[in-house]
Structure 1
Amino acid sequence: MHTVAILALDHVVAADMAIPIDVFRRARLADGRRPYRVRVCAPTPRVDCETFTLTAPYGLEALREADTIVVPGCSEEAPPPGEEVLDALREAAAAGTRIASVCTGAFTLAAAGLLDGLSATTHWLAAPRLAEMFPLVDVRPDVLYVDNGQILTSAGASAGLDLCLHIIRRDLGSAVAADSARLSVTPLEREGGQAQFIVHTQPPVPRGSLLEPVLAWIEDNLDRELTLAEMARRGGMSERTFSRRFREQLGTTPLQWLLRARVRRAQFLLETTDHGVERIAAQAGFGSPTAFRERFKRVVGVTPQAYRSSFRAGASGGIVRPRSHRDEAGVRI
C-alpha cells in the first residue's frame, strides 16, 4: 500500500486536514482494494486546533516511512513550524518523498526551502504574503493547484480536494480518480482556476481625495463609453495630471481601474439577474458581447456562463454572493 502521512501542526485548519484524509482513505481499486494507507502524524502527541484538540497516533518518524506527505494549512495564530518539522520535511524531500500542501500549508514548505525556484500556490488571500515572505517562490494566485512533480501545492481547502484527485489520477489512472470524485460529489476537474473566487477589490481612495467623486461618477456611468478625456474633465484636471494622480493614489491606470469596475458590474449582474450576455455586456459598458467574454475570461478565469452556473442562485445548487457592484463583501471559497 502507498502510505500517505498527513502532517498536523498546531492550529491546523480542520478542513485542510480532513479532506486528504477522507479522499485517500476512501479511494478504491476496481477489485475493491484500498490503495492508500493514511496516517496522521505530528511533532507532539496532542495538537491544538481552533475548536478541538487532536491526538495524533504517529510522530514525525512516520514521515520517513511515507510515500506521500500532505501538509495542511494552519490559521494565522499558528506559531512558525519548529526546526524539527522543517528538518523532517527536508529529509523526506531529499529521500524523494512526494510532498504536497493544502492552502497555507505552502508556508511550511516554503519555510523548509522546498519551494525555492518553483511555482506554487496558496489561498488567494494569503498569496501576497507568501510572495513577500519567500521571494524565491514564484507564487501563482490564480490556479487551483501546481504540480512540480515531487512538490505540489494547492489553494484553499476545496482546491485541496482537486489536488488529491489529481494525485490519485497520477498514481492510479482516471477511472479510479473519477470514482473518487463521485464519492466526494465533485467533478474530477473544475473549469477555471482560483481567479473565479477572487473578489477583485479596487484600491482604496484616500479620504478627501479629489478622485473620490470622479470614481463614484464612473461607477454610476459604466454603461456609457467613457474616455480618459471625459474622466479627467470630470475631475477638473488635464489628462496628464489625472493619470498621474490616479497612479499615485490608486497604483493603477484609469483604464485598468475602469475595466475592473466593468468586470465587477458584470459579475453582479450574472449573479443576480437572468439577463443575457448581450444585455450584460451593454450594462457593464463593454463594446460588444465578444469583447465582454474575452475580458471577463481573462480576469475571472472562466466564461460568463460558467461563472453564472457557479454563483447564480438556483443554478446547479449555486448561491448568490450577497453584495452590490459597490459592496465587495462576501465570497464563496
Structure 2
Amino acid sequence: MPEIAVAVIVTPGFSPFHLSIPSIIFGHERYAAGRFSLRLCAEVAGQIASDSGFSVHTEYGLEALADADMIIVPYWPDPDQLPSQLMQDALRRAHQRGAMVVGLCLGTYVLAYSGLLDGHKAATHWEYEADFCHRFPTVQLDTYALYVEDGGLVTSAGTAAALDCCLHLVRRYYGSQVANGIARSMVIPPYREGGQAQFIERPIPVTSRDSHINALLDYLRRNLQQAHTIDSLAEHVCMSRRTFTRHFLRATGMSVNDWLNSERLQFSQRLLESTGHSIEIIAGMAGFNSAVTYRQQFKKQFQVSPQDWRRTFQGREHSIDG
C-alpha cells in the first residue's frame, strides 16, 4: 500500500495537545514511516500561534488538501466561530473526491458548519451536546461514542478520545496489529470499549459496583468463546438483572450484547491477521454460535468479509519495533 497522505489543519490559537495527537501518530518516524506522510497546513502558511505561548511553522496552505488522502481538523477554538468559506469549500471538495475527513473534539463543528455531516452520525465532546444539537439538527449526534465513522467522515469525542480515533484510523488502513503496536509503544490502551458516557457528570455517586463491572469486563475478555446471558452475568456480579443492565450501560455506554459482539469481532480481527485458523475455528474461538452468524456480523461492522480482511492485513509487516 502506498503511503497515506495526511493533512492536518492548524488554526490560530490551536491547542498543542490536540495538534500533537495526529502529529505523533501520523508523523513520528517510528510510527508513520512507510505508512503515512504528514503535512501541517493553514489558511495562510507560516507561523501559527498556539493558546500556550508558542507557535509552529506551517509550510503549506489549504492547497495541500487537494491531494491528501486524509484531512484532520484537530481543534476548533470556539463553537460560535464559523470556518471561512475557503476552508469549507476545500473540505467539501476533498470529501467529494473521496478523501477521509476527520474532526477531532470540537473539530467536528468545522465539518458540521461545512455541511459534510448533514444526515450523518457524528461525535463531539459531551459538554457541547446541547449546543451542537441545537446548531445542527440534521446531524445524528452519538453522545456515547468515543469516535464515529460514517460515509468517509470520522469524528471524535473530547480531548483524549482523539487518541482512540487516530488509532482507529491506523487500524482501518493497516490492521489491528500495527495499531496495537503503536498503542503499546505509547503506553495507552489499543482499544477502549464503551464511550464517553462514563465521563459525563451525573448526580449518581460512584459505588463499589463499578469495580464489579470492571472485573466482569476482564473476565469476559478472557472467556469470549463461552456463551453468556444477561441473567448469568448478573448472577456473576451478584446483581439483579435490572440493576446489572443499568450499571453495565452506565459503565460502558453499550448494552451487554453490543459490547460482547464488539469485543468478539475485535478479537477475531487479531486471529485473522496472526493465525492460519479457518473462519469456522475463528468464529468458535471468538464466541459466535456459527460461522454464518460470524460472517454476517463481521460484514455488518467492517463492510468487508473476514476473508477479505485477512487478505488485506495478513502477511504485512506489522511490527513497529523492527
TM bin, normalised by shorter chain, reads 0.5 to 0.7
Which of 218, 221, 246 aligns to 1:295? It is 246
Change (3 A) 1:91 1:140: same
Which of 161, 169, 181 aligns to 2:171? It is 169
SS state at 1:61 partner: helix
How many pairs align? 227
Where do 5+ consecutive residues of structure 1 fail to align? 202-263, 278-286, 304-333
Cα pair 1:124 1:194 within 8 Å, conserved:
yes
- Amino acid in structure 1 at the alignment position of 2:184: R
Q: 1:128-207 residue pairs with structure 2 within 5 A?
A: 128-201=130-203
Name the counterpart of 1:70: 72
Q: Distance in 2 between matches of 1:160 and 1:85?
A: 21
1:171-228 per-residue CA deviation (whole Å, 9 max, x = no partner) reads 0111111111112211211121111111125xxxxxxxxxxxxxxxxxxxxxxxxxxx
Name the counterpart of 1:100: 102
- Amino acid in structure 2 at the alignment position of 1:187: P
Name the counterpart of 2:289: none
Cα pair 2:123 2:156 within 8 Å, conserved:
yes
SS state at 1:39 partner: strand
Q: Distance in 1 between matches of 2:64 and 2:198?
A: 37
Q: Comparing both structures, which one devotes a greater share of its residues to helix?
A: 2
Root-mean-square deviation (Å): 2.7
SS state at 1:157 partner: coil
**1:43 and 2:29 are equivalent in the alignment:** no
Change (3 A) 1:77 1:123: closer
Change (3 A) 1:268 1:47: farther
Q: Percent identity?
A: 35
Q: Distance in 1 between matches of 2:241 and 2:18?
A: 39
Change (3 A) 1:271 1:298: closer
Larger radius of gyration: 1
Where do 5+ consecutive residues of structure 2 fail to align? 217-237, 255-322
Cα pair 1:12 1:73 within 8 Å, conserved:
yes
- Amino acid in structure 2 at the alignment position of 1:160: A
Q: Distance in 2 between matches of 1:38 and 1:112?
A: 23
Alignment TM-score, normalising by the size of structure 2: 0.64
Name the counterpart of 2:18: 16
Q: Displacement of 1:81 after TM fit?
A: 1.3
1:214-258 per-residue CA deviation (whole Å, 9 max, x = no partner) reads xxxxxxxxxxxxxxxxxxxxxxxxxxxxxxxxxxxxxxxxxxxxx
Q: Distance in 1 between matches of 2:210 and 2:251?
A: 14
Cα pair 1:144 1:193 within 8 Å, conserved:
yes
Change (3 A) 1:81 1:197: same
- Amino acid in structure 1 at the alignment position of 2:116: L
Cα pair 1:7 1:40 within 8 Å, conserved:
yes
Name the counterpart of 1:252: none
Q: Distance in 1 between matches of 2:98 and 2:181?
A: 28
**Which range moved further: 101-110 or 52-61?**
52-61
Q: Distance in 2 between matches of 1:162 and 1:133?
A: 26
Change (3 A) 1:298 1:270: closer
Cα pair 2:196 2:253 within 8 Å, conserved:
no
Q: Distance in 1 between matches of 2:172 and 2:29?
A: 13
Q: Distance in 2 between matches of 1:77 and 1:166?
A: 25
Cα pair 1:121 1:154 within 8 Å, conserved:
yes
Cα pair 1:27 1:36 within 8 Å, conserved:
no
Name the counterpart of 1:110: 112
